[in-house]
Chain A
């Protein structure tokens, strides 16, 4: 029989009824969605901020040079960005770097470096800077280019020449517009010949990468009177080889250090992880706060939907009398709850992106980033809140007895 297979009511019919019902109670509907508005707005702002911080960090760490591996003396279980430990059992040496350079087939470059503070001066200008002694491969490993002049040669290193390559900031401070190449500067009281200038690198996590003076690593050992290196930098041959290269380094150095793993090998990912973990933890806390406001919003919607079901009991009775199934009534109130919540979500999204836009104008350095998935997230959240808070009222509406509903005053 034909009536045993009723044609389904299309979804947009429910949406139309929902919008009519919401429009009939505009003020109440907006108040109801306040929790969802606040929840979604904060989710949007916080997630954008977290996203922005993450991609900012990724960008910053990419500037270290692709597939960078850092070997530091001393063994630590966790990775960090801290300075080398003072009481290291065994420091790393240029010999260690040399072994890696010769034997580690998965590395395309190895450079030990030794850094220290120093005062550089030219004529009557002086500046306190970081002086870094670098190996031959340093430039390719760290992705730093010598823009003017030329990098140190193996010969410069072997002869422990007093050559210096200056960062842009140093050049600007000491030489202003003068050409620094071929000039002699004083580094910690010793004369150094300027043989090069690096291309600008900008700042990384607030640290000026152009406020540096580079000299051959052997020369720094003389200058600071040290026979070890601060760390060894290496570059893996390709991203896929990073882990294997770490294993290779560990193996080679352990054998050289007579079986002791008294050094730590970090990858770029490890270093970044330290920072993203902080961002993640903050994200979890703020998402918890946002979830609470979404839950509060959901309870608000549920309440108002229950009131709405009561108020519209007669309407439900009429719909049932003219042919609505229980499932139609259920769907209608579920859709209404979702539409209310989605309206809250859209308003929240608008407010959230407004806040981000305004804050980016006010604080251009703020790394907030609105992406499409945040929009999807906002819609997903509010739809979920709508469904969850609509279930109980919708079930109650569907369970109404038609005769009772029609008699309801």
Chain B
């Protein structure tokens, strides 16, 4: 049997703030299998973003272990972690985090630069993914020429372009109005239907209800982990 995509055991994360320690994660254990669609909810400051950064290999736990696709990431070098982020993880941020000076196409192609993919192939693959998220007619627009929803779809396309085994999204609709937010969520539903593994952080209970599984984080701990019927709409 294939190992779970995410296998966290007792993950802790402490931040030093002068004299005091801030304990953002206090032992999170979590398994996510291939093809799951997980929503993480919890109050502000409960540690959701901290957990997502660790799951995305942008940050390392202070304690506990994390296996991604069966591989422990604690001992990976910087270059190896970069490669993991590049090949296995697609990260979507609340604030889009697109390159302001670059076109949608170049933004989406960016991860492929670090994968060592030649330019022509990069552009072809980026165009394909942009078409897939419905932006085939916006390839040469810069972010400031796109609406918020379109920007987030560019960001989703960028996360998808390396065909990662794990999609992470930290409040992807947080900066969008309800209608455009729904468009982006529609995209996640489609990706999930296509077999993608998705972990999504949200404040919005309505959004959380779309996922098949809901994890509640409270004060750095997993408070509840519920399978649920997806409510579409």
Query: Which chain A residues border B93 with CB–CB below 8 Å?
Result: 406
Contact at A406–B97, with CB atoms within 8 Å? yes
Judge if B101 is at the interface, Cβ distance under 8 Å.
Answer: yes
Contact at A324–B59, with CB atoms within 8 Å? no
Closest to B113 in A: A13
Which chain B residues in 33-87 approach chain A with CB under 8 Å?
Answer: 53, 56, 58-59, 71, 78-80, 82-87
The listed residue (A4, A7, A403) touching B80 by CB distance below 8 A is A4
Contact at B59–A320, with CB atoms within 8 Å? no
Count of chain B residues near A, Cβ 8 A: 30
Categorize the interface residue count of chain A. 20 to 34
Residues on B lying within 8 angstroms of A by beta carbon are 53, 56, 58-59, 71, 78-80, 82-88, 91, 93, 97-99, 101-102, 110-111, 113-116, 158, 162
The listed residue (A2, A318, A321) touching B56 by CB distance below 8 A is A321
Query: Which chain A residues border B162 with CB–CB below 8 Å?
Result: 323
The listed residue (A7, A10, A13, A323) touching B85 by CB distance below 8 A is A323
Contact at A402–B59, with CB atoms within 8 Å? yes
Contact at B58–A320, with CB atoms within 8 Å? yes
A-B contact pairs, 27 of them (CB 8 A): A1-B71, A6-B79, A6-B116, A7-B116, A9-B114, A9-B116, A10-B116, A20-B102, A24-B101, A314-B97, A315-B99, A317-B97, A318-B99, A321-B97, A322-B110, A322-B111, A323-B82, A323-B86, A323-B162, A324-B82, A325-B78, A325-B79, A325-B83, A327-B79, A402-B58, A402-B59, A406-B97
Complex Cα–Cα for A20 and B113 (A): 15
Contact at B85–A6, with CB atoms within 8 Å? no
Whole-angstrom distance between the Cβ of B48 and the nearest chain A Cβ: 14
Whole-angstrom distance between the Cβ of A191 and the nearest chain B Cβ: 91
Q: Binding site of A, secondary structure by majority: helix, strand, loop or mixed?
A: helix
Which chain A residues in 24-80 approach chain B with CB under 8 Å?
Answer: 24
Whole-angstrom distance between the Cβ of B78 and the nearest chain A Cβ: 5
Query: Which chain A residues border B58 with CB–CB below 8 Å?
Result: 320-321, 402-403, 406
Query: Which chain A residues border B110 with CB–CB below 8 Å?
Result: 318-319, 322
Which chain A residues in 303-342 approach chain B with CB under 8 Å?
Answer: 314-315, 317-328
Complex Cα–Cα for A251 and B79 (A): 73
Whole-angstrom distance between the Cβ of A314 and the nearest chain B Cβ: 7
Contact at A4–B101, with CB atoms within 8 Å? no
Contact at A9–B80, with CB atoms within 8 Å? no
Contact at B97–A323, with CB atoms within 8 Å? no
